[in-house]
Amino acid sequence: MAGNLIGQGGLFFFLPFAFALLISVFTSTIVAKSPSQDMSADSKTLAVPTTQPFNNFIRLVLTLASCVALVLMIPTGALVTAGFTFNETFLYWFPNFGFSFLLLGGILFIHLWSNKLPLTTQTFFFGVTSICLLILSLYGLLSEPGNNTLSSMHSPDTPSPTSAMDAVLIWRLLVIFGTSLILFLGFDHISLRSTSTKQRILVMLTGGSLIALWCGASLLHVPGQKLAQSTIPYILGAREILGQPGRILIGIAIIFGALGVVNGLLIYTYRTIMQISADLNLPLKTSPLWTQRVIALTATPTIGILMATGLAGETKLETYIYGALLLWLLLAGTRVMISQVARSLIQKNAHESTHPGLNLLLPALYLFAFLFSVINYEDSKSLFKFFILALLAATAAAVGWKFIARLPQHNQITKGDN
C-alpha cells in the first residue's frame, strides 16, 4: 500500500503521511489521558463523568467487532504473504501453506505458554523487521540508483502532486497508516498507562520515520510508475537497492513482520478484552493466562480455517481487511469522543473554560474519514456486508459475555500456571 501510494504521489506522499502520523500521535495522547481511564485506575481522583455519554453496550459491540475483524482478517493475509515469500525467496520446495501454518502454530504455542512470552517475542519480531528495513533504507538512501533505473524524483513522468494522489487515496492513506501506526506502535489500553507521553510519541515517531525512510529509499531507486503499478513494490525496492541480498532482507522483514502482526493483534485483543472487562464491570470467569489462551485457541484455528478454505486466494480478503481497519477507525473515533466529552464535563464542573468545538474536531475527522472511505470504496456492497456480519457476531458475543458475567462466581478458574 505504501509502495503503491509513494509511487503515485512521489514526494507529495510525505504530506498526508505526516498528517496521518500527527493524527495518530494526537489520538494516542488523548486516549492515554482519558478521564475515564484515570477513573478506573483511581476512582478517588476524578468523580465527575460517571454518566457515560455513550451506551456501554454500543462500546462493547464496537470493540468486539473491531477486535474480531482485525485479529482474523489481517493475520490471514499476512501469514499467506509470509508463506509465499518463504517459498519464493528461501526454499522453493517447501509448501507455502505449510510454512504459513508453521508460523501460526508457533504463535499459538507462544500464547499458550505464558503471559510474558508473547511480549518478549514481540520485541524480537519487530526488532528483526526494523533492522532489515533500516539496513535496506540506509543503503538505499546512501547509494546511487543503478544506471538502468530511473529515479522518479528526476524522471519526467514524476506524478504531479495535484493529479497523482486523489482525495480517496489520501484518506485511504490516513485510514491505513493512521490505524496501523497507532495500533502497532503502542496504542493500546494498558501500555498507554504505563508509558510516558514522551516515550509513546518517541516510539510512534521512530516507527513513522522508519516507514518514511523505507518509502524514500524505494522512490529513489524505482521509478514511481513501477512502484504504483506493482503488487509487490517492497520487493522491487529491495531488489533494486541490494540485489539478491536485498531480496533476502525484505523476505526476512516480511516473515518476521507477519509474525509481529499476528502476535501483536493477539496481544492487542487480549489487552482490549481485559480492559473493557474492567471498564464496563464485566468480570471474566478465567484467569489472565487462561483468557489469553482462550483467545489464542479461538482465533488461531479460525485463521487456519480461513487460510485452508482459500480466503487469501480471493480478492474479497482485501475488502475484509480494509473493513476491519475501518471498524477500528470508528472505534478509535468513538474512544476519542468519549475522552473529550468526559474531559469537557470535568472542566464544566470545575467552572473552567471549555472548547466543545475543538474537542470534537478529531472525532469528527475520524467519522469523516470513515464515511468518505466507505462511500468511495470500489466494492461498497461487500464492505457493508462485512460490517453487518462483524457487528452481528459482535452483538451475539456481547450478549453472551453479559450473560456469562452475571453467572455466579464459583466456577471461576483462578489458577494460572506461568
Partner 1 sequence: MKKLVPVLLIMLFSVVPVFSGSVDKMNKDELKSLLGSETLVILDVRTGRDWSTSEFKIKDAIRVEGKDLSAASNFTKDHTFVLYCA
Footprint of partner 1 on 3-32 (CB under 8 A): none
> What single DSSP character describes residue 53?
S
All three cell numbers of 283, joined, read: 468480570
232 binds partner 1 (CB under 8 A): yes
Instruction: Determine which residue in the list 12, 17, 86, 101 makes contact with partner 1, applying CB under 8 A.
Output: 101
Residue 183: CB minimum distance to partner 1, A: 21
Task: Give yes or no for a contact between 237 and 60, defined as CB atoms under 8 angstroms apart.
Answer: no
Footprint of partner 1 on 279-298 (CB under 8 A): 293, 297
Task: Give yes or no for a contact between 227 and 219, defined as CB atoms under 8 angstroms apart.
Answer: yes
CA distances from residue 223 to 157, 209, 253 in whole angstroms, order as listed: 9, 22, 22
Query: What span, in angstroms and rounded, lies between the C-alpha atoms of 24 and 178?
Result: 5
Shorter beta-carbon distance to partner 1: residue 250 or 394: 250
As a dihedral over the C-alpha atoms of residue 329, residue 396, residue 38, residue 266, rounded to 10 degrees, the angle is: -60
Instruction: Determine which residue in the list 11, 15, 112, 213 makes contact with partner 1, applying CB under 8 A.
Output: 112
Q: Looking at this protein, which amino acid is placed at residue 50?
A: T
176 binds partner 1 (CB under 8 A): no
Q: What angle do CA 229, 365, 17 make, to 5 degrees?
A: 35
74 binds partner 1 (CB under 8 A): no
356 binds partner 1 (CB under 8 A): no
Range in contact with partner 1 (rule: CB under 8 A) among 76-84, 168-176, 219-227, 360-368: 76-84
Shorter beta-carbon distance to partner 1: residue 59 or 172: 172
Range in contact with partner 1 (rule: CB under 8 A) among 46-54, 106-114, 187-195, 382-390: 106-114
Shorter beta-carbon distance to partner 1: residue 232 or 361: 232
Residue 105: CB minimum distance to partner 1, A: 5
Q: What is the per-residue DSSP string for 143-177?
A: SPPPTTS--TTTSTTPPPHHHHS-HHHHHHHIIII
394 binds partner 1 (CB under 8 A): no
300 binds partner 1 (CB under 8 A): yes
All three cell numbers of 412, joined, read: 471461576
Q: What are phi and psi of 54, to 5 degrees?
A: -110, 145
379 binds partner 1 (CB under 8 A): no
Q: How far is CA 373 from the centre of its chain?
A: 17
Contact code string over 235-274 relative to partner 1, x by CB under 8 A? x---------------------------------------
First to last CA, the chain: 40
Residues lying near partner 1 in the complex (CB under 8 A) are found at: 77, 80-81, 84-85, 88-89, 97, 101, 104-105, 108-109, 112-113, 231-232, 235, 293, 297, 300-301, 304-305, 308, 311-315, 317-318, 417
